[in-house]
Amino acid sequence: MNNILALDTMIAEASRISVSVHIHPDGDALGSGLALVSYLSGMRGKDAVLLVPDSVPESLAFMLEGFGEGSVLTCNQDLEGVRERISGSDLLFCLDCSSFSRSGEDMEPELRSSSAPKVLVDHHLNPERDSFGIVFSETEVSSTCELLFRIIKEMPDVEGDLARLPMECLESLMTGMTTDTNNFANSVFPGTLNMASELMAAGVDRDRILSCLYHNYRENRLRLMGYLLDRNLEITPEGTAFMILDRAIQKRFDFRQGESEGFVNLPLAISRVRMSILLTEEEGRFRVSIRSKEGTSANLCAMRYFNGGGHEMAAGGKLFFPGNIPSPEGAKAYILKVSEEFLAK
């Protein structure tokens, strides 16, 4: 891989390294961030910390097991600490997002204005190359974890020998790849299966990871899922399925961040659905998740109508009120219009 030696030198010359991921971190963001912190501290002896723009969702808290107290700083708990950490860092990594603009408004200005060298490792479309000294950007991989797996494997101190790496590093990579592929249901490439195979051969307990990921939810998540599918899901004549997780429903099910993970994929099971949209109400905006089937671009839809982007068939964005729509109640009409316009023949 290009740039491996340049990266190796950059790491060798740094002592305080910070790794940032995107806001509302998912398994891939946390997995790649933790794996890198584990490699940098365990193998390279660096002072390495993962910076999370908001907080770690409860459902993914198990991923932090085995990591020391100071390995992760979150903006929600210690914003001052995060800012100090960024200004005191001599190397910055940005993982699983195409630019610092997805690092959240709390961290973005500090990250951008830092004079430390910056490295991007990401698998989304349209990376903001100019902001980084070294860019590892590939879209033909399942996840940032898969890309990072290949990078770490090629590092001169690893030489392809996974046994040299801390188990936390290997487990984090497996976890993130598993969540980003929806447990091997999408975005799986030949290299993805090789990665899984090599990690298992190196001793990663995949059954334990699956149990932590998929057998550990609160009852509310399942009841909310049932409610949304039965009472809330609508499908437009053009084949856009949409669900609106507004404040009232959030309250009713005591909704917590991360608990709707995967919901947006469910309507794709319906034959006539071409695209699925999940709106989650937040302060002054909806968070938007979009999934599409082959031939329909979730990325284009997110860019055109929802102030976002991502991958060809999995993207996200925001819908502001007031702004894009006058109030939360305007969401449905907006989606109907988008569907008509975007999926028109």
Cβ proximity to Mn ion, 19 vs 228, nearer residue: 19
CA distances 7 to 103, 120, 124, Å, are 22, 11, 20
User: Minimum distance between the CB of residue 123 and Mn ion, rounded to whole angstroms?
Assistant: 6
Cβ proximity to Mn ion, 96 vs 281, nearer residue: 96
Q: Three-class SS of residue 41?
A: helix
User: Minimum distance between the CB of residue 108 and Mn ion, rounded to whole angstroms?
Assistant: 19
User: Minimum distance between the CB of residue 142 and Mn ion, rounded to whole angstroms?
Assistant: 8
Using CB atoms, what's the residue nearest to Mn ion? 28
Name residue 272's beta-bridge partners.
none
Q: In what order do the strands lie in the sheet with 285-292?
A: 234-235, 240-245, 275-282, 285-292, 314-320, 309-310
User: Minimum distance between the CB of residue 45 and Mn ion, rounded to whole angstroms?
Assistant: 28
User: Minimum distance between the CB of residue 23 and Mn ion, rounded to whole angstroms?
Assistant: 13
Burial (CB count <10 Å: 0-12, 13-18, 19+), residue 226 = exposed
Binding site for Mn ion (CB under 5 A): 28, 96, 143-144, 180
Cβ proximity to Mn ion, 196 vs 335, nearer residue: 196
Cβ proximity to Mn ion, 27 vs 267, nearer residue: 27
Cβ proximity to Mn ion, 38 vs 144, nearer residue: 144
CB-CB neighbours of 216 under 10 Å: 12
- DSSP 8-state class, residue 186: S
Are 81 and 282 spatial neighbours (Cβ–Cβ below 8 Å)? no
